[in-house]
Amino acid sequence: MPDNPIKTVWENAVDYETFLKSARENVELMRARFHDLLINQADEENLRSIQNDIRILVIGTDRCNDTAGNLPVLARMVSLSPKVQLKIVDSDSSAQFHQQYKVNGKRKTPVVLFLSPDLEELCRWVERPNAAYKIINEKTNPSLEERRAGLRKLYSDPEILRQSLSEFIELLLRADLILGRR
């Protein structure tokens, strides 16, 4: 039986601080979002209540505004949840692996995989929170530069970051349940 392809990618992926050290774009934004994210007591309790070891693998790039918006949220969550480990793999250098996670025929970033200790996929989240899709899709045919500026502004909104946090916590709790939360 062939090796689990996620295992090879996981072994070569990096932690959040290492990712930031090698990043060339959006570094200060990601650092600020990590520190500015408001996490309430209920969120903290949920994060600390995780019973099983869970791995989160993010396929992303520092150039991507969606990755820069959501990766700090995941990193902050992991900092509060001792049972959860986060690693990041560059979507460009892992393009072949990233191909298997296309949405509507396109590679999207970030792809967030919630994995078991054996690196089996439990849940998946792609690109941006639902609230962000609604805002982005309300614009009619914006240019690429307008979309980039819109996404940078969007992820400066604390409510959008809270939406990401909420969606990630929900998936983390679901993964914990799948693994046998008591």
Delimit the domains of the chain by residue range. Answer: 5-178
Digit-coded pLDDT (tens) for 48-85: 999 999 999 999 999 999 999 999 999 999 999 999 99
pLDDT at 34 over 70: yes
Compute the mean pLDDT over every residue in the chain, rounded to the nearest whole number.
91
3-state secondary structure the chain: CCCCHHHHHHHHCECHHHHHHHCCCCHHHHHHHHHHCCCCHHHHHHHHCCCCCEEEEEEECCCCHHHHHHHHHHHHHHHHCCCEEEEEEECCCCHHHHHHHCECCECCCCEEEEECCCCCEEEEEECCCHHHHHHHHHCCCCCHHHHHHHHHHHCCCHHHHHHHHHHHHHHHHHHHHHCCCC
Digit-coded pLDDT (tens) for 103-131: 888 889 999 999 999 999 999 999 988 87
pTM value is 0.92
Task: Note the CATH architecture for domain 5-178.
Answer: 3-Layer(aba) Sandwich (3.40)
